[in-house]
Structure 1
């Protein structure tokens, strides 16, 4: 009965989003989404999300400086920087390399960079998290990835690259929305919204069990917690947060 209900409600949601499906069929939606809709949506979402996640982000990044190299400088790589939602939480003098696959975040990113002049921005790379070949082996003290692993092609390949670019003893920080408990109503609605949500929000997957990939990766230590973000009436309340050490 639950599966039948999910399928029925999926069709209802898809009918409501029929114009977007038609635009996608015609090859119009994807470029429009990447160039206009998604950057606009993310820029507006960032301020609201950071207000709700501020306490968690402050706690998460509170020990970043402990992973600085012998010189005391912290070199950090951020995968999927977007509009720079995390900049305000990074320690003074942090040297940042930004990466993203979408150049259309530049307006919001430039604004965030100008508002966070306590940081040293090194370079911006237009590369996917699965292929960080422009970043040298063992060159980073920390790697950060927030709300990105939901939409990458392969979490395993991203984590393999993370381990490659981190120096021994370096840390990978993450904050990601994930699949809810499979017996919950939240998971039911994640299943309902899944196909349409993925189409509308540039490949974002609602039901990824990202913690399993992190636990199976070859980190020496992992500190991971499941939390509920106060994003009421949305299917993205369930999150994981923490860091893993190479």
Structure 2
């Protein structure tokens, strides 16, 4: 019965989003989403999300400087930089390599870079997290990935690349929305919205159990917590937050 209700409500949501489905069928939605809609949406939502999550992010990144190499300057790779939502939380002098698959975040990214002159921006790579071949082995003190693993093709392959580019003792920071408890109403609505949400928001998956991938990856130590974020009227309130050491 529950599955039947989910399917019925899914169809209702899909009917409401029918114009987007038609644009997708015609091959129009995907380029429009990547070039215009998604960058605009991310830029607008970043300020609100950072306001709600400022304390959490400060707590998450508070020990980042401890992982700096002998030079005292932290070398950091950010996967899925987007508009640079995390820049303000990084320590002064941090040397950053930015990566993303979407070059259309440039307006918001340039603004964030200009506002965070305490950082040293090294280069921007157009590359998926699963294939960071332009980054050398054991070359990074830290890797950061926030609200990205929901939409990658393979979480496991991203984590393999993270482990490759991190030096021994380096750290991987993560903050991701994940599947809610399977017995909760939140999970019920995640199941309802899943197909349409993924289409509208550039491949974002609502029901990934990302903590399992992290726990199974070959990190020497992992500190992970499940939290609820006050993103009211959305299906992305369930998050995981923490860091893992190579």
Aligned length: 246
Tell me if 1:158 matches 2:134. no
Matches within 5 A, 1:98-109: 98-109=98-109
Partner of 1:87: 87
Matches within 5 A, 1:22-41: 22-41=22-41
| CA deviation after TM superposition for structure 1 residue 2, in Å | 0.9
CA separation in 1, counterparts of 2:33 and 2:232?
25
Tell me if 1:97 matches 2:79. no
**TM-score in terms of structure 1 length:** 1.00
Partner of 1:233: 233
Partner of 1:77: 77
| CA deviation after TM superposition for structure 1 residue 233, in Å | 1.1
Partner of 1:142: 142
Partner of 2:5: 5
Matches within 5 A, 1:49-198: 49-198=49-198
CA separation in 2, counterparts of 1:159 and 1:53?
24
| CA deviation after TM superposition for structure 1 residue 71, in Å | 1.3
Deviations 1:186-229 (A, max 9, x none): 00000000000000000000000000000000000000000000
Structure 2 gap ranges (5+): none
Moved runs in structure 1, 4+ residues, more than 4 A? Answer: none
Deviations 1:10-61 (A, max 9, x none): 0000000000000000000000000000000000000000001111000000
Secondary structure of 2:69's aligned partner:
coil
CA separation in 2, counterparts of 1:72 and 1:14?
52
**TM-score in terms of structure 2 length:** 1.00
Secondary structure of 2:108's aligned partner:
helix
Partner of 1:221: 221
CA separation in 2, counterparts of 1:175 and 1:52?
14
CA separation in 2, counterparts of 1:172 and 1:8?
40
Cα RMSD for the two superposed structures: 0.3
Partner of 1:210: 210
Secondary structure of 1:242's aligned partner:
strand
CA separation in 2, counterparts of 1:139 and 1:12?
49
Structure 1 gap ranges (5+): none
| CA deviation after TM superposition for structure 1 residue 70, in Å | 1.1
CA separation in 1, counterparts of 2:233 and 2:38?
20
